[in-house]
Amino acid sequence: MGCGEARASVPPVRTPSLIALLATAAAGAGGGKLLAVRAVPGPDSTLVQLEADQPLSFTTLKLAAPPRVVIDLADTAVAGAPAEQEVGDGAVRRIAAAGAGAHTARVIIELAADVEFDVRASGTRIEVRVPRAAALARNRQAESGGETAGAGA
């Protein structure tokens, strides 16, 4: 370098880092919102409804002690759904909703008994049907002919 030449110090441009940051922000902005969780009791079962602002990707898991259903909603934030609600209707004891990591919302349905459940998704709603143990016992008894025993006497 000769006399009078100045060397400019320019900080390096980290384009890949900036692109990754913007992509992460865009992905977060496109995630869904869990808006409501409600229990709708029926005569033989309780329907737990999860309402979102868009169709959601989810997984379910059944745990045994205490019996409960866990629903993980991918790329979803809890926004408006109550953190916890007591149900106590003979099928569902309580329901809780919370974040489970940076991009997952989790709904836990605590069951009154260890029963099978049915999950269906339609549009922006996910429904979990939980039968009452007493209704299951009645159905099993009817299927085995327990109600008809002694009917002709």
CA–CA gap between residue 27 and residue 23 (Å, rounded): 6
Is residue 132 in some structural domain? yes
pLDDT at 28: 45
Is residue 2 in some structural domain? no
Q: Look up the CATH number of the domain holding residue 54.
A: 2.60.40.3500
Is residue 115 in some structural domain? yes
Is residue 65 in some structural domain? yes
Is residue 72 in some structural domain? yes
pLDDT at 125: 98
pLDDT at 99: 95
Range of the domain at 59: 34-143
Is residue 127 in some structural domain? yes
pLDDT at 30: 65
Q: What percent of the chain has pLDDT over 70?
A: 68
Is residue 1 in some structural domain? no
Is residue 118 in some structural domain? yes
Mean pLDDT, the chain, as a whole number? 81
Average pLDDT over residues 27-42: 84
Poorest-pLDDT segment among 22-31, 105-114, 124-133, 141-150 = 22-31
- What's the pTM? 0.71
More confident site: 71 or 138: 71
**Is the distance from CB of 27 to CB of 75 less than 8 angstroms?**
yes
Q: What percent of the chain has pLDDT over 90?
A: 63
pLDDT at 143: 72
The total number of structural domains in the chain stands at 1
Residue 20: pLDDT over 80: no
Residue 129: pLDDT over 70: yes
